[in-house]
Amino acid sequence: MLHIDLICVGKVKEKYIKAGMAEYLKRLSSYAKISVHEVSDEATKEEMTDLEVEQVLNLEADRIEKKLNKQSKVIVLAIEGELTSSEELAESINQFATYGHSHISFIIGGSLGLAERLKKVSDRSISFGRITLPHQLMRLVLIEQIYRSFRIINGHAYHK
């Protein structure tokens, strides 16, 4: 069975987002083993120098790297990543699984994004659009899209 890790900076606080995530995680359980790993975010302030931003991103990246499975294919979510459709995400997941990769890690950064070093070592950098979404909401969107991907891969009906 495919193992999927979601490694996310920060905690989900909103009950409605937790409820939505729980529903899709339950639905996903028949397709893959999925785990959500939260790493703590660094405090930020309104005005930050480039050096301060880089320091925050590197501290968060250190925490993310501790959660990464070394054999995992890594997909990062980044606003500047490759725009992807549900079908293209399904194809990526299916290709990784078809070619013997039993572990996929998705990474969602914090409010400042992700350190460049994580983007450079990723196998794919994707974006669901050029809009900025709250990181908590992005988790729910990603989990729903992973569920949709498995429905597509398995030829099951799912509303468009």
Tell me: is residue 113 an annotated ligand-binding position.
no
Task: Give CA–CA dist 11/126, Å, rounded.
Answer: 22
Tell me: is residue 130 an annotated ligand-binding position.
yes
Tell me: is residue 155 an annotated ligand-binding position.
no
Spatial contact of 76 and 122, defined as CB atoms under 8 Å apart = yes
- Tally the C-alpha atoms within 13 A of residue 133's C-alpha that lie toward its C-beta: 17
Tell me: is residue 131 an annotated ligand-binding position.
yes
Tell me: is residue 129 an annotated ligand-binding position.
yes
Spatial contact of 2 and 97, defined as CB atoms under 8 Å apart = yes
Tell me: is residue 133 an annotated ligand-binding position.
yes
Spatial contact of 124 and 92, defined as CB atoms under 8 Å apart = yes
Binding site residue list? 77, 109, 128-133
Binding site residue list for S-adenosyl-L-methionine? 77, 109, 128-133
